[in-house]
Amino acid sequence: MMRISDTVKHLLIINVIVWIGAISIGTNGDVFNNLFAMHFPKNPAFEYWQIITHMFMHATYNGGGSIVISHILFNMFALWMFGTPVEQYLGGKKFLFIYISAGLGAVALQLGYYYFSYLPSYGNLISSGITADEISQML
Per-residue pLDDT of the chain (139 residues; tens, 9 = 90+): 678 899 999 999 999 998 888 888 766 557 777 788 888 887 888 888 888 888 888 777 666 566 778 888 999 999 999 999 999 999 999 999 999 999 999 989 988 887 777 666 666 676 777 776 776 666 6
Q: What is the pLDDT of residue 77?
A: 94
Q: What is the pLDDT of residue 134?
A: 74
CA distance 35 to 86: 31
| pTM tops 0.95 | no
Count of positions (residues) in the chain: 139
Sequence letter at residue 92:
G
Q: In the chain, where are the structural domains located?
A: 6-138
CA distance 97 to 106: 14
CA distance 114 to 52: 18
Q: In sequence order, what are the beta bridge partners of 61?
A: 67
